[in-house]
Amino acid sequence: MSSQTLREARKYEEALAKLISKEDRPGFHLSPRVGWMNDPNGFSYYNGKYHMFYQYYPYEAAWGPMHWGHAVSDDLLHWEHLTCALAPDEFYDKDGVFSGSAIGLPDGRQLLIYTGVMKRTVENGHLKEFQTQCLAMGDGEDYEKYANNPVLGTDAIPANGNVEHFRDPKIWQKKDGSYRLLVANLKDDGFGQLLLFKSKNALNWEFEKVFAENDGSYGLMWECPDFFELDGQGVIFVSPQDMLPEGFEFHNGNGNVCIIGDYDDATDTFVPKTFQAVDYGIDFYAHQSILTPDGRRVMIGWMQNWDTSGAHDRNLPWFGQMTVPRELEIKNGRLYQNPIRELESMRKDKVEHLNTVIKGDESVLDTEGHNPSSRVYLDGIEGRQIDMTITIHPENVEDIYDKFTIGLASDSKKHTDVIFRPKENIVKLDRKFSGSRRSIVHQRRTKVPFNNGEVKVRIILDRFSMELFFEDGAYAMTATLDTDVSAKEIYFEANKNVIIDVTKYDLSDN
């Protein structure tokens, strides 16, 4: 039986969603049915459909008491919104149904595991938040919360753990049929740890060990953990809060980290070997992955960041979107990611320009290093829903260019630039001229190896976002865009002659 709180949320979203046109949404990125979206939750495959739940506040395009929104898809690109799955309607989750994961049960039901948030007054009269792990079971549309919630209370936290930061459970089933659960926790020293719990039936859990922990090298609290095996390695995803920059690998604020290591399934032991960023752009957080029925590991993240997500207009009908799904692999000890291959079925109207010379001119640059009069526009190379691959070569390898720019989502006043500096092995994403009126993060740089000035990038543009994949997926950069969709020009600019090969497809969302 659904609660009054859940019925009200469903009634509200049903009414308001009718007022949002298809054209006002992304073409192929999941956005909330109405209101606010953040972290992906419960990313799973169940009863022949991909399911994506998400942190959700239907009543305003701003963070509020968290619900779980719900959508399903056949291909991870075309989504159907279902009704709100969970609402904060029990004493143990009255202040928020926080992030979690999902799995199918042997009896045919789908199990959701999430963090329930409850605030209560403690001895000193202060309001304190308690986070516990809770279950709900259902048929893929409607879910009933477990009568014995919470299944992991604050008494399950080790002595050095914090009861206010115990969240984001990630569940998986082992080959022997037993279950494991990874939960993020904050230690007394202010750094995060990932706690591993085990269960025979996914209902009754016991603490097993600390699976991994932060020694202070990567932010403070680790949020939204994911764990899986890929190409013979164990992989942990975490989203650290309050990171400090480390060269061009990690940036300030709330970030994303991939930890690759050795995993012993028999003893549930993970030994980390390498740490890398997952996405080097502006808007990427709380990534979750799934093993598809055909054996691919696919990841989706929240295409936003906490340091800028409060700068939008709260009166918008919706806010927040997910990244394009990305297929993952490990090559040479590094995580690679590329847009899911199903995206190629949306391609149409191929345009190609091969061995095209972009002539450089350093004589009349403005204060930003641009020479608008020397911008090059190529026939048919434009659009805001496109899949475009560009390979950049210097015309003279003995005297390579210092700077090459691709301007996207451009008109007479607005543009977002991808700037290549081969002599420094740096790529910069710059959206300060994209139309935003806020003083938020608009630039980010990363190291990308050039080969004598040559580099390759694949660009996925949707109406309100851009995703860049360099060197066949070795590096990714993601950013949302405020630019009006009418700004669809694309230009090229160089300070010395550059040769480019461009292949562009429009992407149809029909």
Cα–Cα–Cα angle for 469, 312, 444, nearest 5°? Answer: 35
Residue partners of 486: CB distance under 8 A and separation at least 6:
411
* Long-range Cβ contacts of 290-293 (<8 Å, 24+ apart): 290/43, 290/44, 290/45, 290/50, 291/45, 291/228, 292/45, 293/45
φ/ψ of 242, rounded to 5, equals 55, 55
What fold is seen in the domain 343-507? Answer: Jelly Rolls (2.60.120)
| CA–CA distance, 446 with 479 (Å, rounded to integer) | 14
Residues 6+ apart with CB under 8 A from 124: none
Q: Is-contact 211 269, C-beta < 8 A?
A: no
Question: Which element (helix H / strand E) includes 13?
Answer: helix 4-17
- Residue 122 and residue 213: Cα distance in Å, rounded? 29
- Each domain of the chain, given as residue ranges in start order, spans 4-304+319-339, 343-507
Strands 443-447 and 347-358: unpaired
User: What is the H or E stretch that residue 136 is in?
Assistant: strand 127-138
User: What pLDDT, on a 0 to 100 scale, did the predictor assign at position 367?
Assistant: 53
pLDDT at 386: 98
**Going residue by residue through the chain (510 aa), what tens digit of pLDDT does each one get?**
689 999 999 999 999 999 999 999 999 999 999 999 999 999 999 999 999 999 999 999 999 999 999 999 999 999 999 999 999 999 999 999 999 999 999 999 999 999 999 999 887 888 999 999 999 999 999 999 999 999 999 999 999 999 999 999 999 999 999 999 999 999 999 999 999 999 999 999 999 999 999 999 999 999 999 999 999 999 999 999 999 999 999 999 999 999 999 999 999 999 999 999 999 999 999 999 999 999 999 999 999 999 999 999 999 999 999 999 999 999 999 999 999 999 999 999 999 999 999 999 755 455 555 556 689 999 999 999 999 999 999 999 999 999 999 999 999 999 999 999 999 999 999 999 999 999 899 999 999 999 999 999 999 999 999 999 999 999 999 999 999 999 999 999 999 999 999 999 999 987
Interior angle at CA 348, CA 504 and CA 345, nearest 5: 105
Contacting residues for 22 by C-beta, under 8 A, at least 6 apart: none
Please name which of 39, 25, 494 lies closest in space to residue 239, comparing C-alpha atoms: 39
Q: What is the per-residue pLDDT for 321?
A: 98
CATH architecture of the domain with range 4-304+319-339: 5 Propeller (2.115)
Q: What is the 3-state secondary structure (H, E, C) of 301-344?
A: EECCCCCCCCCCCCCCCEECCECCCEEEEEECCEEEEEECHHHH
493 — phi, psi (to 5°)?
A: -150, 135
Task: State which amino acid sits at residue 135.
Answer: L
- Cβ(153)–Cβ(137) under 8 Å? no
- List 347's β-bridge partners, or say none: 507
Of the candidates 261, 297, 305, which has an alpha carbon nearest to the alpha carbon of residue 279?
305
Per-residue model confidence (pLDDT) at position 372: 60
Instruction: Indicate which residues carry an active-site annotation.
Output: 39
Q: Residue 373: its pLDDT value, please?
A: 65
Is the previous residue joined to 245 through a cis bond, with omega within 30 degrees of 0?
A: no
Is-same-fold flag (4-304+319-339; 343-507)?
Answer: no
Burial code of 116-128, b = ≥16 C-beta within 10 A, e = fewer? Answer: bbbeeeeeeeeee
- DSSP for 214-278, please give it: --SSS-SSEEEEEEEEETTEEEEEEEESSBPPBTTTB-SBS--EEEEEEEETTTTEEEEEEEE-S
Contact by Cβ (8 Å): 5, 486? no
Measure the CA–CA gap between 61 and 428, rounded to whole angstroms.
30
Exposed, middle or buried: residue 499 (CB in 10 Å: 0-12, 13-18, 19+)? Answer: middle
Would you state the structure tokens that stand for residue 74, as one six-digit string? 């056949």
pLDDT at residue 124, as a whole number: 82
Phi, psi dihedral angles at 154 (to 5 degrees): -65, -20
DSSP class of residue 382 equals B
